[in-house]
Structure 1
């Protein structure tokens, strides 16, 4: 559900869905825990799309 939401966001902001998916996979590999720097993984993904 979250991944679909993020892909829809990527399309809305003109990002390449494949690029976004690869970025999310990379973030999942780098972030082994649910919490990192005080933010949940999902929030970090959403924020990464906004940059």
Structure 2
């Protein structure tokens, strides 16, 4: 089993940072009979001022 943290930063179509909600996602991934699968996850907004 593994855990993966993902930091999400809002960008425009060119990849430049823009104002908007940031996010933090946590995935828990476990090996199943048919391969690795996400078995749990949480996605939440983060105040960029708090980072």
TM-score, normalisation: structure 2: 0.23
Q: Which structure has the larger Rg over C-alpha atoms?
A: 2
The answer to which structure has the higher strand fraction is 2
Query: If each structure's helix is expressed as a fraction of its own residues, which one has the higher value?
Result: 1
